[in-house]
Chain A
Amino acid sequence: MTTVTTPQPRPEPPAPRGTGDPFLSVRDLRVRFATEDGEVRAVDGLSFDLERGRTLGIVGESGSGKSVTNLAVLGLHDPRGTTVSGRVTLDGQELLGAPRKRLEKLRGAKMSMIFQDSLTALSPYYTVGRQIAEPYRKHTGASRHRARQRAVEMLGRVGIPQPQRRVDDFPHQFSGGMRQRAMIALALVCDPQLLIADEPTTALDVTVQAQILDLLKDLQRQTGTSIVFVTHDLGVVADVCDDVLVMYAGRCVETGTVRDILKTPEHPYSWGLLSSIPRLKAPVDVPLRPIPGSPPSLLDPPPGCPFHPRCAFRDEVAGDRCATERPQLLLTGARGSACHLDGDRKRAIFADRIRPALGRRPEAASPAAAGPEGPDADRTAEPEADRTVADEPAAEPEADQGEGNR
């Protein structure tokens, strides 16, 4: 066990990618809901790894299965009418199908979750302090008094002023930003090693959002927690994530480092996401409606590539394979995409047709760095992006390996 539970700063950055066993490993996860209209395949063969101390961003349109994935990892999905298959291991321990008691011991202790809407996610009937202290008492066996002290300490750590006094407030007495901080305090009270944050800042204004992101980064630096960060906002991805997984219709369509995805995305859907970033100073909480058309029905997914009805590039693939043959996620190391376009073609399309049309670079759209410049200033970012694109093919010598879907 090399778990780090003390809140002391970690002297060493986490192990580099690709070495050792991943802390969280998801393999061929499938989540299906039986509904009156038929079977909804909300997650359809998803695999990803997350190492200690790293942050994985999951992006995708509404309904792409991000929340369902995370709830299934924690075992929080509604068991009735839901079929979950695949493998989910946390620190080598299988989670899917684990006994309820074992999961209850892990939840809130070793793995925990921050929910999006803290007004509904906290119980209106108990004080914030009690709700934070509760899991601490359960998981550490601490006394009521000690747990309360811990709640005060956590509230202080997430930046609630006068935590000693606010600990006895009810959630409705907190502002939205404070509630979200309390939610984070609640998720972190037992020093979890895996933190799943499902759109933790979507409902907040830009300043509070930036503060909360900083807070998460700080806490991660102190405790070495692995984070899964679900968001609609590529600016936030650029700010906090190490790796990115782009989800579409319950599948991973592209994955790689944050640099890969934001600078040299390879999947037409990722291009669409990138193009959707507003050019001017980004308002927060813009739902992603980047691409014409709407996500496919999960009841009756289209044959072939699930994206083909909306894809502007399917004609570039010979023989209409897009409509008949499902593209596999081909991984080179940890980088890959699920698209029939071949590598050179993708890079050429991105360089010639997508990138020139992009406005502001995503980094600049992140709330912390958002400046007052207009669209003209965007051009200054171009040369750097050029260089990255040129570098990238050389760094990819290995042949594609079909590793993502087994």
Chain B
Amino acid sequence: MLRFLVRRVLAAVVILVLISAVTYVLFFALPIDPAQLSCGKSCTPQNIALIHRNLGLDKPVPVQWWDYVSGVFTGRHLPLGNCPAPCLGLSFTNDTPIWSTLMDRFPTTLSLGVGGAAIFLTVGVGLGLLSAWRQGRLTDRIASAVSLLGQSVQIYFIGPLAIFLFADRLGWLDAGHDPDWSSDPVGSLSGVILPCLVMSVIFWSNYSRQTRSLMIEQLSEEHVRTARAKGMGSAYVFFRYALRGAMGPIITIFGIDLGSILGGTVITESTFGLHGLGQLAVSAVLGTDLPMEMGVMLFGATAIVAFNILIDACYAFIDPRIRL
């Protein structure tokens, strides 16, 4: 297990270094001069040179990149202000450290991602299990129909609809606000329920379809038949043997979907007017705040890589044939 973790973390570091290099080149070296961007139309060459020096853009690109990466671990003293240890640079718009803004916004995104995933796993896998259990019967068809709902809708379409129905009309749920888990856990929970629900809907059909077919496949496996031949009850066989076999592939699918989950949170944030990483990225792009764009991107990539390692560890935990 330890060897696995060390290996995977090292691999992840390599991946992240590559990602940071590519994004750095994309953002700072290729398109337009960031100095030009940050100083606007009426810019004198002197101004540009000053900004270059302030941003460290007068050095060669590899050196800039190296300063950036080492700054993540050591912190940097930039001409425009101090940038403590996990330093991802300072924002073009307000000169504050990127990292502190990220930390500010991250809880919203994490809440949406984790909450939404928990809901779509429960609903999607649950519907799939129900369909497989009652395969070919009415329940199967109803469950498939319910999950199909999710396939044909978009977050930005059902989001406002859900706010109108559940928040404005029925008053059952909060219309959504940014969570602050440490000071107001209950309020935070009620603030993210509706966004999480809405976000989860688009994932239902995939998980219920996959779960259904995985379970049907598992139920015809020989080891499941052996369990029945031992006289184990059908529910026991269904959950202990068939579901056990289907769990690995479901988790694999989940790992592949991490990126889409992040994408889902971005759309959900803007639909519900929440202030998470997605909204941060959008405003950074609109305001051409390059360090912020780069920071969000790196942060998202790191999160996905980290979750992937976690998922692989889960996988090994579930399947004894994989020894780490």
Contacts and interface: CB of A to CB of B under 8 A. Distances in A.
Interface of A: 74, 76, 78, 80, 100, 103-109, 112-113, 115, 117, 120-125, 131, 134-135, 138-139, 170, 172, 183, 186
A72 B320 CA distance: 33
A335 B109 CA distance: 77
Ranked 6 nearest A-B pairs via Cβ:
A108-B231, A108-B230, A107-B231, A135-B230, A123-B223, A120-B222
Residue among B229, B244, B318 facing the most chain A CB atoms (10 A cut-off): B229
Contacts of B233: 104
A123 B230 contact: no
Contacts of A172: 320-321
A121 B244 contact: no
B136 interface: yes
Contact of A121 (B223, B245, B319): B223
Given A112-B230, A120-B221, A170-B320, 10 more contacts: A76-B228, A104-B232, A107-B228, A107-B229, A112-B229, A122-B223, A123-B224, A123-B226, A170-B321, A183-B226
A136 to B, nearest CB: 9
Nearest to B221: A120
A80 B227 CA distance: 19
B321 A107 contact: no
B222 A117 contact: yes
Contacts of A106: 231
B277 to A, nearest CB: 37
A129 to B, nearest CB: 13
17 contacts: A76-B229, A80-B136, A103-B231, A104-B231, A107-B228, A107-B231, A108-B231, A115-B222, A115-B225, A121-B223, A122-B223, A123-B223, A123-B224, A134-B230, A170-B321, A172-B321, A183-B226
A246 to B, nearest CB: 25
Contacts of B225: 76, 115, 121
A125 B232 contact: no
Given A117-B222, A120-B223, A123-B223, A108 B229 contact: yes
B226 A121 contact: yes
A183 B228 CA distance: 14
Contacts of A138: 230-232
B241 interface: yes
Given A115-B225, A124-B320, A100 B234 contact: yes
Given A138-B232, A170-B321, A115 B220 contact: no
A123 B232 CA distance: 14
B205 to A, nearest CB: 24
B134 to A, nearest CB: 11
Nearest to B248: A125
Residue among B227, B231, B232, B241 facing the most chain A CB atoms (10 A cut-off): B231
Interface string B243-257: 011000000000000
Contact of B245 (A122, A125, A139): A125
A342 B321 CA distance: 59
Residue among B135, B230, B233 facing the most chain A CB atoms (10 A cut-off): B230
A76 B321 CA distance: 28
Nearest to A183: B226
Contact of B231 (A105, A117, A183): A105
A183 B230 CA distance: 11
Contacts of B320: 124-125, 170, 172
Contacts of A78: 220
Contacts of A76: 225, 228-229
Contacts of A109: 231
A139 B229 CA distance: 13
A248 B319 CA distance: 42
Given A121-B223, A123-B244, A124-B321, A135 B231 contact: yes
Contacts of B319: 124-125
Contacts of B241: 123, 125
A138 B229 CA distance: 13
A120 B233 CA distance: 20
A312 to B, nearest CB: 38
Contacts of B245: 123, 125
Contacts of B321: 124, 170, 172
B61 to A, nearest CB: 51
Nearest to B233: A104
Contacts of B244: 123, 125
A103 B320 CA distance: 31
A186 B319 CA distance: 22
A124 B223 contact: yes
B226 A122 contact: yes
Contacts of A139: 231
Contacts of A121: 222-223, 225-226
Contacts of B135: 80
A193 to B, nearest CB: 14
A134 B232 contact: yes
A134 B229 CA distance: 12
A131 B224 CA distance: 11
Contact of B230 (A107, A120, A124): A107
A134 B222 CA distance: 17
A121 B225 CA distance: 8
A123 B245 CA distance: 9
Nearest to A120: B222
Residue among B222, B226, B233 facing the most chain A CB atoms (10 A cut-off): B226
A194 to B, nearest CB: 12
A74 B229 contact: yes
B256 to A, nearest CB: 22
B231 A115 contact: no
B94 to A, nearest CB: 54
B227 A123 contact: yes
A108 B225 CA distance: 12
B33 to A, nearest CB: 58
